[in-house]
Amino acid sequence: MLQGRTILCACMMKTMNKEKITELVGRRAAARLGGGLKRIDAQHSKGKLTARERLALLLDEGSFEEFDMFVQHRCTNFGMENTKFDGDGVVTGMGTVEGRLVYVFAQDFTVTGGSMSETMAQKICKVMDMALRNGAPFIGLNDSGGARIQEGICSLAGFGEIFERNILASGVIPQISGIFGPCAGGAVYSPALTDFTLMVRNTSYMFLTGPGVVKTVTGETVTQEDLGGAGVHASKSGVAHFAASDEREGIQTIKALLGFLPSNNREKAPFVETSDPAGRVDDALNEIIPESPNKAYDMYQVIGSIVDDGKFLEVHRDWAKNIIVGFAHMNGRSVGIVSNQPKILAGVLDINASRKAARFVRFCDAFNIPLVTLVDVPGFLCGTQQEYGGIISHGAKLLYAYGEATVPKVTVTLRKSYGGAHITMSCKQLRGDINYAWPSANIAVMGAEGAVEILYSKEIKSIEDPAERARVAEEKKKEYNDLFCNPYNAASYGYIDDVIEPRNTRFRVIRALEQLADKKQENPWKKHDNLPL
């Protein structure tokens, strides 16, 4: 009799366990559908992927470990207690990209428009804390209508908790934001606090206030795309570092970017094997500088020539084009490239170029990525618009960034390097480690024409005969050029370590980087600096 009861109890337990497992499997399946098939179809009809589809593209197959799948919101206002979904509008967890650990969140627009709730923020904060604790990159895929209005201050507090973690993680682990849909109001500040922001053309946008509010307050009529689309932020505001044509391209860009970065600020970036010889020379570089000092050439050709396999991941490609920044490998080592672009505004430094390069230099310094600087800069852009806009303070940001950087710094001056811009572009006095120059380099306070105008203006103007006046002016320019507009004057003082043949630039830079691979340099202790913001 007792044995019969035991068998019966065992059968009941098996049945109960099976029911519980069936319930678990069912809840997991429902959670993975987010807001349901109808809303998923609506997402696809807009040319957008779902949160889980994005994570599947980003992470190595089978590597995703999800956390907090069964979290639900706690709001009881405005009938919200009747609308609950497991996961509450965001998918969070960990996984690997090319075998390297990352922590992620992906907002799910199919659940209440991906709006931020208190519990949603808690889920995001949990993985941010784990990323910081374990020294791994953090990637956020944003697709949200903003704060969940029904939750009031609790939603805003959630944003604040996320922002604080963005701040504490800055410079410790890489933080990357992908904008794959709307990102409005307070939500925009988390991406702004991260290291890199990527947007998708035509389907993503960022703004503090939407077109309706803008119309009411200012009377302006503007579309979402013109107000805060990817094109606007990639080319006009500089808010977006990358603009992708579609989500798949965007996710591939994030993965490519990660390949250049260390997991945290205590590590070096991963080494990448290359078959490109370190000693490769390029005779075309000997001919690339035009005879006329006022004629442009394309700095992309120089960059492509000296980096491994010609591969260069540009950052801020469409903004402040007069300066180029981005990542490459040199003999397998990750490097940050900063270069003036003579084809745009003669490569002059202006407000936006200074901001763009300063942020990039500081990122590379924070994450142990050596800096290679290619210089052809005639000076800072003049005019009332620049002065009123604070070119002095903005230019000081770039100067400050180079001056505080302790990573290996290799500088090559190709042609012009004048005045304050010469100092700013990683000169010897800003602790440039190895400073090379091409024979075509002109390193001086200013160009010959301007110098002669200042030094000999009265003398030349006093000559009555026009032909003689022109002859003397040309003579004085030649005298100034011979004295200063060459690399040898700077080299005679040790401000240039060597004048190199252009064709050998790749080899010389790589050898310098290898020499500096174990460089150790520290700045004076301070609570924090006071960068000229």
Q: Which residues are designated catalytic?
A: 185-186, 420-421
Joined together, the tokens standing for residue 128 give 């941010």
Joined together, the tokens standing for residue 7 give 């068998």
Burial of 207 (0-12, 13-18, 19+ CB in 10 A): buried
- Quote the CA–CA distance of 36 and 85 in Å, as a whole number: 10
The dihedral built from the CA positions of residue 466, 470, 475 and 479, taken in this order, carries a sign that is: positive
Joined together, the tokens standing for residue 311 give 């591969």
- Quote the CA–CA distance of 384 and 341 in Å, as a whole number: 23
Determine the residue type at 388. Y
Looking at residue 428, the DSSP 8-state letter turns out to be G
In degrees to the nearest 10, what's the CA dihedral of 521, 526, 532, 533? 110
Joined together, the tokens standing for residue 483 give 């004295």
Lateral strand order in the sheet of 138-142: 65-67, 90-97, 100-107, 138-142, 175-179, 196-200, 242-244
Determine the residue type at 5. R
- Quote the CA–CA distance of 356 and 361 in Å, as a whole number: 9
